[in-house]
Structure 1
């Protein structure tokens, strides 16, 4: 047994020496996460303290669960929680399938030049900041913008869409899909390119058409990737897109657009109620953790261990 343990440790040391160059490449990433993600976690203590700037984090008195009690007794918190869930679910339901369908349809195009051109154009919005995109959409949906010009053309009255709570969520979802569907399709393109061409060749010989091959070969082969992406999407279901909403919303549409992140921003950075803001953020992180574990367990049970993250 001792000899076996020694041999095992020597084997592990040998692997470390063999891959030392690759391991060294990991060091900057590990340092980054330690410094910017794990080290600041001590700030979570503020959620349980009555923070005073002059006394610092450790010197401020303990408040226990006082801030969490204030959160759940605040009726407005349930409004922002509802808005966050509704917007996130809309984006998930309508936005999640689009990159998959886009990748499947584009993979059927024979012309490589046309395919690459479409891919390049679809990726571009991902690299444009929401500050810029927000300005573009404000112009498009303004009273004198092209959208209202079309409304007037058909005899309608102009509408300030981004200040109308009847349209704001729909615009959020549509613009979010526009910005991200091309970039989100990359992983599906990669998965489709790894499908064995002999499967399609055999299906063609059996008389299968494009749609039959798509539903019988491509989609089943994409199932593990789709399951993993769904799990990762569920982990961020309480995010709802701070950058997008912050650059597009206004006080007129708070009732349908104010989410947890924008609420935390106002409470923490504008009202300087740091402890309350961190308590809200901690609640959001706890819910996200529960959701990702639940979805991963469900995928593992119904789809098999190969479709789950762990």
Structure 2
């Protein structure tokens, strides 16, 4: 009897779902291009992952290439060039996360407290502008600014006596991380703060007013009212950053555009190494194996970070 009642109920629910879908057909059609893009660029390429387990030959194709199992994964773990590259990748990502997560929050908190509308708009416009410049343009600007011949940074440092003679920033491996971090902060600080400003706009004004009535100063309101309200947003972005520890992101753009034979020991990261071995050296299977490992590690890090968040704050985000 229970089964007989369930079947008509399911049919009724499906009919109602179809009727509702038809009512929203114009809106649903807007999703179709996104679904097609998802299929073309995210799902269909998964078929090519089997290259990581084969000795891929272009004339044989993916299916015709010989199966070699974990050969390319073993080659990755025994490659003497991998450890410096991993160190650069993880080191840059961790240090950047240390700066690029709190600084936009601090900047957003400062902007949120500004009451002068014109100054606030001016500060936002100036801070957002670098985000809309491509990394290629920013890299060319950095090369010009840091030039030992006519760069204004060297000119300023030598004229003020900080440096005795011009410093070849892009030719010194130990200077590359600082350049990469500084460029990333300059480009993304303002735009990243938009997310936190949006979260701050949802702060209950009655709670803020109650805090003012209770005598809470500006700093106390930030700590006890604003920060708890944006904490979920902070945690989500922190989890995403943790998942991207082995991913290039802006690190790839900066390293690809500013790396040279002099700074390569500190500029080479995993994504540029994959590009070099996969495209320049035609080691397609080896590069695919590294990319697959990156995805697996990123998934593990995301799940682990989410589990830690759930254990410590009680919040789970997926």
Structure 1's 309 and 20: CA in aligned 2 closer, same or farther, altered over 3 A? farther
CA distance in 2: counterparts of 1:52 and 1:121, whole angstroms: 50
Deviation string 1:199-256 (CA, Å, 9 cap, x unpaired) is 1111111111111111110001101111111112222221232112111111212211
CA distance in 1: counterparts of 2:187 and 2:173, whole angstroms: 22
Q: CA deviation at 1:12?
A: 2.7
Name which of structure 1's ranges 64-73 and 230-239 shifts more when overlaid on structure 2: 230-239
Provide the residue aligned with 1:20 in structure 2: 25
Is 2:308 the partner of 1:298?
Answer: yes
TM-align CA RMSD? 1.4
CA distance in 2: counterparts of 1:19 and 1:86, whole angstroms: 49
CA distance in 2: counterparts of 1:11 and 1:298, whole angstroms: 41
Alignment match of 2:279 (pick from 247, 266, 269): 269
Deviation string 1:108-139 (CA, Å, 9 cap, x unpaired) is 00022221221122111111011110011111
Provide the residue aligned with 1:112 in structure 2: 117
Q: CA deviation at 1:148?
A: 1.2
Q: Any residues of structure 2 matched to 1:28-39 within 5 Å, and which? A: 28-39=33-44
Q: CA deviation at 1:4?
A: 3.4
Taking structure 2 as the reference length, what is the TM-score of the superposition? 0.93
Deviation string 1:168-222 (CA, Å, 9 cap, x unpaired) is 1011111101111111111111111111111111111111111111111000110
Alignment match of 1:57 (pick from 38, 58, 62): 62
Structure 1's 176 and 208: CA in aligned 2 closer, same or farther, altered over 3 A? same
Is 2:149 the partner of 1:149?
Answer: no
Taking structure 1 as the reference length, what is the TM-score of the superposition? 0.95
Provide the residue aligned with 1:200 in structure 2: 208
CA distance in 1: counterparts of 2:20 and 2:72, whole angstroms: 50
Q: CA deviation at 1:263?
A: 0.3
Name which of structure 1's ranges 236-245 and 205-214 shifts more when overlaid on structure 2: 236-245
Secondary structure, aligned partner of 1:182: helix
Name which of structure 1's ranges 238-247 and 18-27 shifts more when overlaid on structure 2: 18-27
Q: CA deviation at 1:18?
A: 3.8
Alignment match of 2:9 (pick from 4, 17, 23): 4
CA distance in 1: counterparts of 2:203 and 2:63, whole angstroms: 56
Provide the residue aligned with 2:182 in structure 1: 174
Q: CA deviation at 1:7?
A: 3.7
Name which of structure 1's ranges 229-238 and 168-177 shifts more when overlaid on structure 2: 229-238
Unaligned runs of 5+ in 1: none
Is 2:293 the partner of 1:288?
Answer: no
CA distance in 2: counterparts of 1:205 and 1:260, whole angstroms: 54
Aligned length: 308
Alignment match of 2:199 (pick from 174, 191, 198): 191
CA distance in 2: counterparts of 1:54 and 1:11, whole angstroms: 52
